[in-house]
Amino acid sequence: MKPFVGRDFLTLMDYNKEEILRIIDLADELKNMRAKGEPHAYLQGKTVAMIFEKHSTRTRLSFQAGAAHLGLQAFYMDPSTMQISRGESLIDTAKTIDRYSDALVIRTHEQEIVDDFAKYMDRPVLNALTNESHPCQLLADIQHVREKKGRLKNLKIGYVGDVWNMAHSWGIVSSIFGWDMMFALPEKYKHLFWPRAKEFIEKTNQETGGNLTLTHDLKDAITDADVVVGITFVSMTRGATEEDMKKKLADFMPYQINAEVMSWAKNDAIYMHCLPAHRGEEVTDEVIDGPQSFVFDQAENRMHTEKALLALLMGGVE
Ligand code: CP
Ligand code: NVA
């Protein structure tokens, strides 16, 4: 295990299983401490800058609330009011943030943007979602799976949704933990899987015994799954036209998770969704509000896992 202090958190491909488990274990501890009202202001006097170039409810709020618990001051910066939107370069912006802030949390478009901030900043850069990856969400999801299934071994995951950040991040985590991961998607979307993640997943699965299958057959993906993951069919993206989005939604609609689809999974399967959900599209109310879904518990874990991450990367905890 490498020391955490000062490291970036750009994708889960940069962290091994032991390191991920260290973050999740600490998140469990912090969750417990908060429930008992025990103080844990491990980052008193430090600051974290937060830039969000895309909409967010959970990520922004969970980081801000978590920072407050840690005694850490979070500054939310709206890029449309920053000089970067008037042409100041990314390099100059990154170097400036580095002088004021002890870390940067950033939600943006291409993965190269977070990679570049990390390149030009000495302080830790945390990826709060790019087109290609959403590693903070997966930390919460791993904690949730362990809480609800009682294990992180021998799992079949059936994933249905956009071939975008969440698909790649679930694939990466599944390979690290050696899970059997099946993605159901229309045939013509298969080639969109992020090549860097695909290469990592294939290599890692060989070491861990995991498996990644992309199939157009929804029944095959969901049958006997322990965890059914539903994700939006149309992700946040720039440049997509109304027509592109309508077409994509129509292509994915046959993959909706409804009660019948959920019945193909194991009887004790759980349904997961990172939210926001598009009810009536990727999932029906019956499933997301049903007894196998705990999506707000899942969302709560965003805060506990991000607190653990901040505490480790910013040196509040060894
Ligand atoms: N799951 C997630 O990242 O939610 P927000 O887009 O609301 O932050
Ligand atoms: N795939 C979704 C995740 C939202 C949290 C998107 O990028 O829009």
Q: What is the pLDDT of residues 255-287, one digit of tens each?
A: 999 999 999 999 999 999 999 999 999 999 999
**269 & 185 share domain:** yes
Going by pLDDT thresholds of 50, 70 and 90, the confidence category of residue 318 is: confident
281 in a domain, yes or no? Answer: yes
Domain residues for the domain of 177 are 138-295
Closest ligand 2 atom to Cα of 231: 1
Structure tokens at 202: 């294939």
Closest ligand 1 atom to Cα of 236: 6
2 in a domain, yes or no? Answer: no
**151 & 94 share domain:** no
Closest ligand 2 atom to Cα of 58: 5
- Pocket test of ligand 1: the residue of 126, 274, 301 to mutate, having most ligand atoms within 8 Å of its CB, is 274
- Quickly tell me which residue has 């899942």 as its tokens: 298
> What is the total count of domains within the chain?
2
Q: Is the pLDDT of residue 58 over 90?
A: yes
Q: Is the pLDDT of residue 51 over 90?
A: yes
**144 & 288 share domain:** yes
Residue with CA at minimum distance from ligand 1 atom 6: 56
**117 & 263 share domain:** no
Q: Is the CB–ligand 1 distance for residue 56 below 6 Å? A: yes
**235 & 221 share domain:** yes
**192 & 227 share domain:** yes
- H/E element, 24: helix 17-36
255 in a domain, yes or no? Answer: yes
37 in a domain, yes or no? Answer: yes
**161 & 289 share domain:** yes
Q: How far is CA 7 from the centre of its chain?
A: 18
Q: Is the CB–ligand 2 distance for residue 274 below 6 Å? A: yes
Residue 185 sits in a domain of what CATH number? 3.40.50.1370
Q: Is the CB–ligand 2 distance for residue 236 below 6 Å? A: yes
The residues facing 73 across adjacent strands are: 47
Q: How many CB atoms lie within 10 A of CB 185?
A: 24
Nearest to 163 by CA among 140, 206, 133: 133
Q: Is 6 left (phi over 0), alpha (psi -120 to 50) or beta?
A: left
Closest ligand 1 atom to Cα of 60: 8
